[in-house]
Structure 1
């Protein structure tokens, strides 16, 4: 954002460099507006702001239509987006950081990237926490989310606020009803439902062609990690009062989860090829009536029901988020994906020259969190893209038009949960309700914002040892002694260094 007017050049998608949207800005005056001084801060806050923004694009094309102009009108800004296809974000962000080809706002969604973390720690971006409480919407960002989004104890941008914990269990309610089964509330009851769906012909076709669970080759976003929450598994790491860290795969909850999955596999209550099944195939298997239990994002219920149309037209679903292994409400838990953080809106000092400019940008981000602008960026323009009833339930008028003119802005919303306006679809309404309820039981990753050099350089390679060992245990080619031997291999190959580095970082962050 420059309060002085200036001609900006935007990198085209085909450019090798990410962009040069703010090139030459550091060279002093160029005949544009004068810099805003401390004495005219209110005038700066009320003035029209010219803002450049490096942002992510999760759709095939950039938005057309009038949504952007309406956002500009309501925020008193002129916005120049430089869209980066999500598939190439890492390469392009790295290039932009290395060449200092930045913009007033830079969307950083890969906080575990070493180049991003080093840039943040280097002082390239403004530290914003001292200013957040000056703005009503920014002030509502919770302490947990501020800490989770911090790097080395400092918050170098406004956190993207995502749903804290989206996952749960989706079950064929029509199959439960046909077999006279209740909605399960414990892992034992869930196992019993899986058994019945496999053995008692829930679709009534007289053929043994169904299983309980449809799962995929993903120990995080598939069934495993959510089931792990029900058995008390920590979210990646367990930390005690002294700051000692234990990896999740060395806990009792993780072992119980492996045993649960092994029982499903051994008895045929889960698709036998789950370890090599893609998400699309998993969802198709469920939608086509080959399985009756799906563990994943509760929002997936709507998509599963849509996929079933014309194939399983009698499908009814129930969404479940309150399963425990003990039956005790006090034991409810669900892992928090990325601690509810989707990255940062960061403000480089090379482009945002002083505190007055920073505050004007923060006001803009604060305004984006208003319900009216959230509705624009989520549903579009009322009467053009959607209608809304008295309960604030939205009906999209033209899905193709919405995809072209509105959907690209979804990656730009600083906050997603907690608004009154909502999708009219009843499954979506129920999913939103349960996901919001999940926040009370969300288990955070205690080292999410911390650094381990060994993890940065070797984490993925070392994690493969554990992932392979977990699958081998479930599939029966490894016993518990063999699994523990693989854990020891992980420790000796660098895991012990990861633990010690995280423990040191945790202690420093607490001091």
Structure 2
């Protein structure tokens, strides 16, 4: 009603999104706006299927200010001097949520280093933290099905190791080939062999992992920082009213990974045929720092929130009208993570949510998007599968960590690793 524009949202299932997104540009059904996953952004930008946005950003009333005050938010998506997307929100990442009630029951302090983390997992496995008299509890769970999320989800086990290409002292290197990764694989193999980690970690999607954690038999769960702390507590308490989780700080020598957020982009052959108008009526609206941003983060007044004494008050989700909420259901952009000011978003954040965000921010490093050089692009899918395969074989005890590293390095020679490193460093 505010814009006079009827917006039709096409939302594939989460697990199918990458496949649907990748094939969309080959069809005749191309929308005006797409959400580009960060792991695909550089590749898509290099294919010239997106409209250049730099000029529109520089002329935008609010995004031009972001370009001046927080340029990394905009320039993180620069490809060969042009920008083809705008991050929908400030990037976030994952950390480990620990069952606080289990810590209290077993009188365990929050671990500060890996040895303490390991000992905590052993206690969660052996000391019957749920009090049911059975040895049926698991120490740690995460989803390893999505290779792009592994580095974040496995942060407490990796410690200072890296799974992929990253910048080290200003130069790109292959983190998987480093000694730190060999030590990390030794830790992974030990955890899996001793039953301290979810046995189906390789096949569970993130939603499956969440749902299994909510059943209450697992002590630690890697997932996104911030508002997810509240969501996890809410769902966990539905099954175990006395249960709660607390965010674990990064272990000594380790850190979290702040991802580049998914971005909004305009296809070069957008449905309207007018990318400038799409930018004006969508981008400039949702990033206006006012009514548009409030709509994009909080939904519709009277449906998702109401105003009381000049302040917004969240209404229950339409799917769960019986459950009160502190903040509205996220409609498009995270209200606490907008890239422009959002003064209307004054919903009360819980202490758990604020603590989770603070714990993450204190030890977060930003991921770098690897340039889509020819050799990297040629072998990237194979490299991801290789890393996943090596991790699975090592953790399941099929091969030793040392043999896994040797297999990786030998295969990477076939994938022209030296040429990949040379090209991305000269990009």
Q: Normalising by the residue count of structure 2, what TM-score does the alignment of the two structures yield?
A: 0.79
Among 243, 266, 282, which residue is 1:315 paired with?
243
Mapped pair 1:467 → 2:394: no
Question: Which structure 2 residues correspond to residues 112-261 of structure 1 after superposition, within 5 A?
Answer: 112=40, 116-120=44-48, 125-128=51-54, 131-132=57-58, 135-141=61-67, 142-157=70-85, 159-218=86-145, 220-221=148-149, 225-227=153-155, 231-234=159-162, 236-241=164-169, 243=171, 245-261=172-188
Paired position in structure 1 for 2:352 = 430
Q: Aligned partners of 1:136, 1:215: CA distance in 2, in Å?
A: 38
CA RMSD of aligned residues (A): 3.8
Following superposition, the deviation at residue 436 of structure 1 comes to 5.9
Contact 2:92-2:261 at 8 Å conserved across structures: no
CA deviations 1:269-298 (Å, max 9, x no partner) are 223333333434433332222111111213
d(CA) in 1 for partners of 2:290 and 2:180? 40
| Distance in 1, Cα, partners of 2:127 & 2:330 | 45
What is residue 507 of structure 1 aligned with on the other side? 426
2:325: which partner in 1?
none
| Separation in 1, partners of 2:393, 2:235 | 32
Change in 2 beyond 3 A, CA 1:194/1:495? farther
**Contact 2:161/2:180, CA 8 A, preserved across alignment:** yes
Q: What secondary structure, in the 3-state scheme, does the structure 1 residue paired with 2:222 have?
A: strand
Whether 1:481 aligns to 2:402 is yes
Q: Deviations over 1:401-453 (max 9, x none)?
A: 99xxx97951799x746746266563xx633553366346432333x151122
Q: 1:491 aligns with which of 381, 392, 412?
A: 412
Q: Aligned to 1:233, what secondary structure does the other structure show?
A: coil
The residue that corresponds to 1:410 in the other structure is 332
Alpha-carbon distance between aligned partners in 2 of 1:220 and 1:114, rounded to the nearest angstrom: 14
Moved more, 108-117 or 372-381: 108-117
Paired residues for 1:20-169 under 5 Å: 69-70=1-2, 72=3, 78-86=4-12, 87=17, 88-96=20-28, 105-110=32-37, 112=40, 116-120=44-48, 125-128=51-54, 131-132=57-58, 135-141=61-67, 142-157=70-85, 159-169=86-96
1:284 to 1:431, Cα distance in 2 relative to 1, 3 A: same
CA 1:501/1:394 → structure 2, altered by over 3 Å: closer, same or farther?
farther
Q: Contact (CA 8 Å) 1:214, 1:271: kept in 2 or not?
A: yes
1:306 maps onto 2:306 in alignment: no
For residues 311 and 352 of structure 2, the distance between their equivalents in structure 1, rounded to whole angstroms, comes to 15
TM-score (norm 1): 0.67
Q: How does 1:344-493 map to 2 (within 5 A)?
A: 344-346=264-266, 348=268, 358=276, 361-362=279-280, 365-369=283-287, 370-387=289-306, 394-400=313-319, 410=332, 416=338, 419=342, 421=345, 424=348, 426=350, 430-431=352-353, 434-435=356-357, 438-439=360-361, 441-446=363-368, 448=369, 450-493=371-414
Distance 2:347 2:257 in 1: 25
For the 8 Å contact 1:367–1:373, the answer to whether it is kept is yes
SS at match of 1:292: strand
- Check 1:390–1:334 CA distance in 2 against 1; reply closer, same or farther (3 A cut): farther
Distance 1:362 1:252, change over 3 A: farther
Q: CA 1:423/1:482 → structure 2, altered by over 3 Å: closer, same or farther?
A: farther
Give the structure 1 partner of residue 324 of structure 2: none
Question: Aligned partners of 2:295 and 2:252: how far apart in 1?
Answer: 42
